[in-house]
């Protein structure tokens, strides 16, 4: 029998441990928008579009999209875990206007004492409430901390018709509510986007980012008085006579 040379089997080049499936390469960090692929950019801008649509009839413009990306990478890279923004509650002054003073001390509460904001001469306010399941306007007479009072206790300011107080409350509400909720929805969109990019850095792209449905459910629809005014014909007519609208352009404002 012929001698067969003892030839070692061919060697197979080792596969580097850091090479994964196609398109799943991990990044060291995303620092600017151009570090992202077009698919990643499209996904993030679609998310931002959800935030913009919280304003009735609004669509994202190029300027708004540019502002959004500026906010995403403003003093942040995906090497840093993002933090959830804080929600800013509506303040009493955002939805009420001063209309007069109390004629007398209001009835005492359970403790037997009249609170200082309910004494004779203390300021009285008209508050507008917007929304609820019916998405309607309602009105409350309140003291300086928002506790309801009976209108009969109020001396209204002289020379100002009652209807003008309602108009002022509507304008006050819309001017405060639009920037408040646009800021919240902007911050939330930036946070979800940063969180998504942070996940991609850790796990590669594409990869599943968990928990986004719960987060996007926190976008808040912007409901303004001017959206509901067609149901309040007389008040709407007065506002139109006094200037045409409530003084608010209902466009999405990118603000963080």
Q: How far is CA 38 from the centre of its chain?
A: 26
State how far the Cα of 28 lies from the Cα of 18, in Å rounded to an integer. Answer: 12
- Rounded alpha-carbon distances, angstroms, from residue 100 to 67, 105, 107, 217, 230: 43, 14, 18, 41, 28
pLDDT exceeds cutoff 90 at 250 = no
Q: What is the pLDDT of residues 48-59, one digit of tens each?
A: 999 999 998 999
Tokens representing 100 are: 């007069």
Sheet of 96-102, strands arranged across: 136-142, 123-131, 96-102, 154-156
DSSP 3-state assignment of 131?
A: strand
pLDDT above 70 covers a percentage of the chain that reads 80
State how far the Cα of 7 lies from the Cα of 12, in Å rounded to an integer. Answer: 15
Give the residue with greater pLDDT, 45 vs 236. 45
Regarding pTM above 0.85, the answer is no
Q: What is the pLDDT of residues 207-228, one digit of tens each?
A: 989 999 999 999 999 998 888 8
pLDDT exceeds cutoff 80 at 202 = yes
């Amino acid at each position: 029998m012929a001698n067969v040379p003892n030839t070692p089997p061919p060697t197979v080049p080792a596969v580097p441990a850091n090479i994964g499936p196609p398109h799943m390469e991990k990044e060291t960090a995303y620092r600017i928008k151009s570090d992202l692929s077009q698919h990643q950019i499209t996904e993030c801008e679609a998310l931002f579009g959800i935030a913009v649509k919280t304003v009735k009839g609004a669509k994202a413009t190029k300027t708004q999209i540019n502002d959004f990306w500026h906010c995403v990478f403003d003093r942040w890279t995906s090497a840093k875990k993002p933090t959830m923004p804080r929600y800013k509650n509506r303040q009493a002054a955002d939805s009420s206007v001063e209309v007069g003073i109390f004629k007398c001390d209001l009835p005492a509460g359970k403790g037997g004492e009249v609170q200082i904001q309910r004494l004779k001469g203390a300021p009285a306010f008209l508050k507008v409430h917007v929304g609820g399941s019916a998405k309607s306007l309602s009105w409350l007479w309140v003291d300086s901390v928002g506790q309801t009072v009976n209108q009969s206790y109020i001396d209204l300011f002289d020379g100002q018709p009652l209807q003008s107080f309602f108009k002022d409350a509507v304008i006050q509400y819309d001017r405060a509510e639009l920037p408040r909720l646009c800021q919240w929805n902007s911050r939330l969109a930036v946070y979800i986007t940063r969180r998504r990019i942070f996940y991609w850095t850790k796990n590669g792209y594409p990869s599943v980012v968990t928990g986004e449905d719960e987060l996007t459910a926190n976008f808040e629809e912007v409901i303004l008085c001017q959206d509901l005014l067609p149901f309040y014909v007389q008040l709407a007519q007065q506002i139109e006579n006094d200037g045409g609208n409530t003084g608010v352009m209902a466009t999405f404002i990118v603000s963080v």
